[in-house]
C-alpha cells in the first residue's frame, strides 16, 4: 500500500479527535520510526529507500495549528488553491457537515429524556425480582419494558413517552353488508350456483331503452324463456342508475327471479315449472278484453317474427314454481301502466316515515306509475288520468289584502330550495289534454304548496314548454322550474282551496242581493217623498246604482270609432314621451360618467412629459438601413408592446437590448398604420436611437430601431418623464372606458332624435285627424 494512503486517514483521525477534545493531543512527527504501522510495512520501507525524482518530490501543504510537523503530499494529491474546484469544495463541505453531525452536542430536551428512560429502566429491573419475570425473561423485550414504563412511571406525572403520538379517535369505515337476494332465499344453493355460472357466459341480451320495461321488452323476455331458462337484460338510462328498482319492475312484470347482476345488466330466471301460454288462450283473452289491435299472430308477419308474441295477461300461469311464487302469484304481475285500487293503492304501506307520509299525501289522486326509475314512493301516472273533466274551469283566485301575487327573487329562490328535497308527485308523458292532471294538482295544492311533475324518458315529441304553459293556464299556478326532466309549480299567494272559494262566491252573491234590496228601498222612499211634496219624479240619480247600470247599458252600444282612434293616438304619444324621458335620463348619466373619466385621464397625463425630437439626429445611409432591416427581421428576440403602450419599462428594455446588440425589434399589435408610425417616432425620440423601418408581419407591425454609432448607456435607464407600468394600465383602461361611453352616448342621441321625429309625425297625424 502506498504511503499516501496512510497519511490521509491519520489526518482525518486527528481532525475528529480534535473536535471531540478541547485540548488537542500532541501529534507525533511524521517519521517512519514514530509510526509502528508504517515502520513494519515492507512496501512503505521500500518506497522510502528508493530515491525520489524531482518530478515526484513531495509538496509541503499548510497544516493545522496543533500539528508540529509539516504535511507532505505527492504532487498529484496536492490541492491547487489558486484554482478553486467547485466539486472538491462541495465534497469538503459534506465531510465537515457529517463531522459536525457526529460531534455536535445533543439537545437539552433530548438528553434529559434519554436519562429519564435509562433511570426508569434501572428501577424496573431492580424491583422486578419475581419468578414470573424470570420465566418470561426470554419473552420480555425492550419494547415491553418501555410500554410498562410508559404505563407506570410516566403516567404518575401525567406525561407521555417522547415517541408517543397523539392519535385522534377515528371511526373505521365499516363494510356494507351484502343484502340477501330473493333468489338466494328461494332457490337451492347448487341450482343458484349453476344458474350464475351460465349467466356469466351469456353474450346476448335484451336492450331495455329509456322507456323502461315496456310490453315489447316483456314479450321478448318470454320468447327467450321458451328456448332458454335465463334471459339477460341490459338497461339504458335511467334504470341503469337504480338496479334495485329495476329488479322490482322486472319481477312485477315478468314474474321471474334475478339470479345474477353486473353493472347495468340483470339475468332473470323463469322458474322450474314455466309453461308458455298457448295461442288459443291469447285469442280468447284478446276477444274478452275487446282489444282493438289485432294480435301479432293474426297479422301477416313472417314466421320468425310470430315467435316473439307473448301474452298480455298476468304471470299466474307462466310464473315461477310454487317455492318461488308464494303470495306474489295472485296479483304481483300486472299489465304495464295499469294499477287497480285493490292491489296497489290500497296495499299496506311500509317503509320510512318519508315514504309513508308521501303515500298518504298521494292517496286518492290516481293510479301509480309502476315503471318509476327512482326509489319509492311511486308517483301518480298522469297519463292514466282522464283527458277531459266535464265542467272544469280554472279556480277562483283572490290575493290577501296588502299583498302582491307576484313573487320576488328571494321568494323564488327560497321556493326552489324548498322543492329540491320533495318527492315527485306526478309522471307525465304527453303534451295536451291535461284537465285530469290539473284537477289532481288542485286537489294536491290543498295539502302541499309545491307540485313536482317528472317527464317520462323516451317519449317522442315531448315538449316541456308546451306542457308548462298549458298547466299554468289550467291551474293558474306559478312556474318555478322547467327543464327536460322536471316541471315544478307553486300554487301562488292568491290560491284559495275549494271550500274557501265556494264560501267567497256565496258571500258575493249575498252582497249583490243586499245591494239590490237597498236600492229598491231607496227608490220607494224617494217616490213617497215626491208624492207628499207634489214634486215631479225627475229626481237626480247621480251616485246611485241605477246610474251606473244606465251608463253601462245606454252608452255601451254607441259607435266608438272616433274615440278609439283618439285613445290609441294619445296612448302612443304617452308611450313615446315616456321613452323619450328615459333615453334623456340615460344620456345624462352617460355624460356624467364621461366627464368623470376625462378628469381621471387628465390626472394621469399630467405627469407625462414626452421628449421632443432632437434636431441634430444621426443619419444612416440606405445600404446601412437595408442591412439593419434584414438583421432586425431575422432576430428571434424582440420587445412586445401591449395595451399599456410606451412607458418607462419599455425604454429600459430597449437599452437592455442595446447592451448586447445594435438593433432591436419592437412588435406592436396596433391596427391603424398611423398609430404604428406615431409609436415608432415616439420610441425614437424617447430612446435616442435611429428608426430603421416599420414592417407588417403576421404577429403585427415590427419597428426596427438602431442604437447609433455614438451610443452610450444612460446613467438612469428608467426615464422619469414617462408613466409607470401601473399608471400606463390605468390610462389604457380610462381611454377604453371613454371610448365605450362615447359610443353608447352616440346611440342614445340617435334614439332621442328618432323619438322626436316620431312624436312630430304623430302630432301631425293627430291634427289631420281632428280636422277631418
Q: How far apart are the first and last CA of the chain?
A: 136
| Mean pLDDT, residues 190-201 taken together | 89
pLDDT score for 58: 73
pLDDT score for 517: 87
- Cell 453531525 identifies what position? 101
For residue range 484-518, what is the model confidence (pLDDT) as tens digits?
899 999 999 989 888 888 888 888 889 888 888 88
Q: β-pairing, 639-641 with 663-668? A: parallel
pLDDT score for 720: 84
For the entire predicted model, the pTM comes to 0.43
For residue range 641-665, what is the model confidence (pLDDT) as tens digits?
988 889 989 999 999 899 888 999 9
Confidence of residue 698 (pLDDT cuts 50, 70, 90): confident
Confidence of residue 1 (pLDDT cuts 50, 70, 90): very low
Confidence of residue 347 (pLDDT cuts 50, 70, 90): very low
For residue range 12-70, what is the model confidence (pLDDT) as tens digits?
333 333 333 444 444 444 444 444 443 444 443 333 344 444 455 677 777 777 777 77
pLDDT score for 314: 35
The residue ranking higher by pLDDT, 579 or 530, is 579
- φ, ψ of residue 282 in degrees (nearest 5): -65, -45
Phi-psi region of 716 (alpha: psi -120 to 50; beta: other; left: phi over 0): beta
Whether the pLDDT of residue 242 is over 90: the answer is no
- Cell 428501577 identifies what position? 123
Phi-psi region of 505 (alpha: psi -120 to 50; beta: other; left: phi over 0): alpha
The residue ranking higher by pLDDT, 171 or 228, is 228
pLDDT score for 122: 80
* 716/337 Cα distance (integer angstroms): 88
Contacts of 750 (CB under 8 A, 6+ apart): none
pLDDT score for 582: 94
For residue range 166-179, what is the model confidence (pLDDT) as tens digits?
555 555 666 667 77
> Are 465 and 482 spatial neighbours (Cβ–Cβ below 8 Å)?
yes
pLDDT score for 70: 76
Whether the pLDDT of residue 605 is over 60: the answer is yes
Whether the pLDDT of residue 413 is over 70: the answer is yes
Confidence of residue 81 (pLDDT cuts 50, 70, 90): low
* Range of weakest confidence among 30-44, 299-313, 481-495, 722-736: 299-313
| 325-to-192, 215, 319, 340, 402 alpha-carbon distances in Å | 16, 21, 7, 21, 63
pLDDT score for 2: 41
* Range of weakest confidence among 119-128, 207-216, 396-405, 704-713: 119-128
| Mean pLDDT, residues 381-405 taken together | 88
Whether the pLDDT of residue 260 is over 70: the answer is yes
Question: Which three three-digit cell numbers place residue 666?
Answer: 419592437
Whether the pLDDT of residue 159 is over 70: the answer is no
| Mean pLDDT, residues 433-437 taken together | 91
For residue range 512-546, what is the model confidence (pLDDT) as tens digits?
888 888 888 888 887 777 666 554 445 566 666 66
* 71/78 Cα distance (integer angstroms): 10
Question: Taking Cα atoms as reference points, which of 372, 381, 388, 374 lies closest to residue 340?
Answer: 381
Question: Which three three-digit cell numbers place residue 329?
Answer: 302469484
pLDDT score for 444: 92
DSSP-H helix ranges across 534-621: 545-554, 561-606
pLDDT score for 121: 83
The residue ranking higher by pLDDT, 318 or 193, is 193
What is the per-residue burial (b if ≥16 Cβ within 10 Å, else e) of 578-588? eebeebeebbe
Q: How many CA atoms, within 13 angstroms, populate the side-chain half-sphere of residue 440?
A: 29
Q: What is the DSSP letter of 368?
A: B
- Cell 331495455 identifies what position? 208
Question: Which three three-digit cell numbers place residue 80?
Answer: 491547487
The residue ranking higher by pLDDT, 438 or 85, is 438
pLDDT score for 721: 86
| Mean pLDDT, residues 623-638 taken together | 91
Question: Taking Cα atoms as reference points, which of 653, 683, 722 lies closest to residue 692?
Answer: 683
The residue ranking higher by pLDDT, 400 or 586, is 586
pLDDT score for 597: 93
Does residue 487 have a cis peptide bond before it, meaning omega lies within 30 degrees of 0?
Answer: no
| Mean pLDDT, residues 202-227 taken together | 89
pLDDT score for 71: 75
| 388-to-362, 403, 432, 441, 474 alpha-carbon distances in Å | 21, 34, 10, 14, 12
* Range of weakest confidence among 227-236, 331-340, 754-763: 331-340
Confidence of residue 80 (pLDDT cuts 50, 70, 90): low
Confidence of residue 279 (pLDDT cuts 50, 70, 90): very low
The residue ranking higher by pLDDT, 637 or 72, is 637
pLDDT score for 21: 40
* Percent residues over pLDDT 70 in the chain: 68
pLDDT score for 306: 34
Whether the pLDDT of residue 349 is over 80: the answer is no
Amino acid at each position: 500500500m502506498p504511503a499516501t494512503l496512510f497519511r490521509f486517514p491519520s489526518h482525518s483521525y486527528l481532525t475528529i479527535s480534535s473536535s471531540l477534545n478541547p485540548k488537542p493531543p500532541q501529534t507525533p512527527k511524521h517519521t517512519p520510526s514514530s509510526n509502528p504501522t508504517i515502520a513494519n510495512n515492507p512496501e512503505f520501507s521500500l518506497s522510502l529507500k528508493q530515491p525520489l525524482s524531482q518530478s515526484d518530490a513531495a509538496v509541503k501543504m499548510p497544516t493545522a495549528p496543533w500539528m508540529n510537523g509539516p504535511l507532505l503530499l505527492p504532487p498529484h494529491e496536492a490541492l491547487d488553491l489558486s484554482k478553486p474546484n467547485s466539486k472538491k469544495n462541495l465534497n469538503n463541505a459534506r465531510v465537515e457537515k457529517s463531522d459536525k453531525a457526529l460531534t455536535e452536542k445533543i439537545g437539552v430536551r433530548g438528553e434529559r429524556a434519554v436519562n429519564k428512560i435509562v433511570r426508569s429502566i434501572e428501577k424496573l429491573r431492580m424491583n422486578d425480582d419475581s419468578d414470573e419475570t424470570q420465566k418470561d425473561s426470554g419473552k420480555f423485550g425492550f419494547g415491553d419494558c418501555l410500554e410498562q414504563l410508559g404505563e407506570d412511571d410516566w403516567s404518575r406525572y401525567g406525561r407521555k413517552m417522547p415517541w408517543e403520538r397523539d392519535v385522534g379517535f377515528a371511526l373505521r369505515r365499516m363494510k356494507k353488508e351484502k343484502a340477501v337476494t330473493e333468489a338466494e332465499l328461494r332457490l337451492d344453493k347448487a341450482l343458484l350456483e349453476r344458474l350464475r355460472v351460465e349467466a356469466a357466459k351469456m353474450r346476448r341480451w335484451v336492450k331495455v331503452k329509456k322507456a323502461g320495461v315496456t310490453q315489447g321488452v316483456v314479450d321478448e323476455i318470454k320468447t327467450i324463456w321458451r328456448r332458454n331458462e335465463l334471459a339477460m337484460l341490459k338497461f339504458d338510462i335511467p334504470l341503469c342508475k337504480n338496479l334495485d328498482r329495476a329488479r322490482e319492475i322486472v319481477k312485477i312484470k315478468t314474474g321471474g327471479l334475478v339470479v345474477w347482476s353486473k353493472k347495468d345488466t340483470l339475468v332473470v330466471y323463469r322458474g322450474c315449472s314455466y309453461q308458455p301460454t298457448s295461442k288459443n288462450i291469447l285469442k280468447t283473452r284478446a276477444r274478452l278484453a275487446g282489444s282493438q289491435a289485432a294480435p301479432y299472430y293474426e297479422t301477416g308477419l313472417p314466421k320468425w317474427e310470430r315467435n316473439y308474441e307473448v301474452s298480455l295477461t298476468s304471470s299466474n300461469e307462466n310464473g315461477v314454481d310454487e317455492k318461488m311464487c308464494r303470495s306474489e302469484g295472485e296479483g304481483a304481475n300486472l299489465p304495464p301502466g295499469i294499477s287497480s285500487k285493490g292491489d296497489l293503492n290500497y296495499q299496506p304501506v311500509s317503509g320510512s316515515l318519508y315514504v309513508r307520509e308521501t303515500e298518504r299525501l298521494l292517496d286518492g289522486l290516481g293510479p301509480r306509475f309502476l315503471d318509476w326509475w327512482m326509489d319509492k314512493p311511486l308517483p301518480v301516472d298522469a297519463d292514466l288520468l282522464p283527458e277531459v273533466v266535464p265542467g272544469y274551469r280554472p279556480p277562483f283566485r283572490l290575493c290577501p289584502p296588502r299583498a302582491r301575487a307576484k313573487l320576488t327573487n328571494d321568494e323564488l329562490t327560497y321556493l326552489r330550495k324548498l322543492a329540491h328535497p320533495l318527492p315527485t308527485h306526478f309522471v307525465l308523458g304527453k303534451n295536451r289534454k291535461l284537465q285530469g292532471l290539473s284537477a289532481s294538482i288542485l286537489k294536491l295544492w290543498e295539502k302541499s304548496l309545491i307540485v313536482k311533475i317528472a317527464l317520462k324518458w323516451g317519449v317522442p315529441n315531448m315538449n316541456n314548454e308546451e306542457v308548462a304553459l298549458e298547466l299554468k293556464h289550467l291551474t293558474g299556478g306559478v312556474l318555478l322550474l322547467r327543464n327536460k326532466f322536471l316541471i315544478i309549480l307553486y300554487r301562488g299567494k292568491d290560491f284559495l282551496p275549494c271550500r274557501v272559494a265556494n264560501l267567497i262566491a256565496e258571500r258575493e252573491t249575498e252582497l249583490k242581493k243586499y245591494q239590490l234590496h237597498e236600492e229598491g228601498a231607496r227608490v220607494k222612499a224617494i217616490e213617497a217623498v215626491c208624492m207628499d211634496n207634489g214634486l215631479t219624479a225627475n229626481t237626480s240619480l247621480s251616485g246611485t246604482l241605477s246610474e251606473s247600470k244606465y251608463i253601462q247599458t245606454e252608452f255601451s252600444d254607441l259607435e266608438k270609432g272616433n274615440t278609439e282612434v283618439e285613445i290609441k293616438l294619445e296612448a302612443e304619444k304617452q308611450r313615446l314621451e315616456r321613452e323619450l324621458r328615459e333615453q334623456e335620463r340615460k344620456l345624462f348619466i352617460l355624460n356624467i360618467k364621461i366627464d368623470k373619466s376625462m378628469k381621471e385621464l387628465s390626472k394621469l397625463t399630467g405627469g407625462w412629459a414626452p421628449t421632443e425630437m432632437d434636431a441634430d439626429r444621426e443619419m444612416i445611409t440606405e445600404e446601412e438601413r437595408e442591412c439593419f432591416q434584414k438583421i432586425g427581421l431575422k432576430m428571434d428576440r424582440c420587445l412586445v408592446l401591449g395595451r399599456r403602450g410606451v412607458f418607462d419599462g419599455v425604454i429600459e428594455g430597449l437599452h437592455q437590448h442595446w447592451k448586447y446588440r445594435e438593433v432591436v425589434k419592437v412588435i406592436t399589435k396596433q391596427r391603424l398604420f398611423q398609430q404604428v408610425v406615431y409609436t415608432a417616432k415616439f420610441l425614437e425620440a424617447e430612446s435616442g436611437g435611429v428608426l430603421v423601418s416599420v414592417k407588417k408581419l403576421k404577429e403585427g407591425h415590427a419597428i426596427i430601431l438602431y442604437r447609433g454609432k455614438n451610443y452610450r448607456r444612460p446613467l438612469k435607464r428608467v426615464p422619469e418623464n414617462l408613466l409607470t407600468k401601473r399608471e400606463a394600465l390605468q390610462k389604457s383602461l380610462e381611454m377604453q372606458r371613454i371610448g365605450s361611453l362615447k359610443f353608447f352616448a352616440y346611440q342614445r342621441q340617435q334614439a332621442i332624435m328618432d323619438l322626436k321625429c316620431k312624436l312630430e309625425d304623430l302630432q301631425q297625424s293627430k291634427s289631420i285627424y281632428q280636422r277631418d
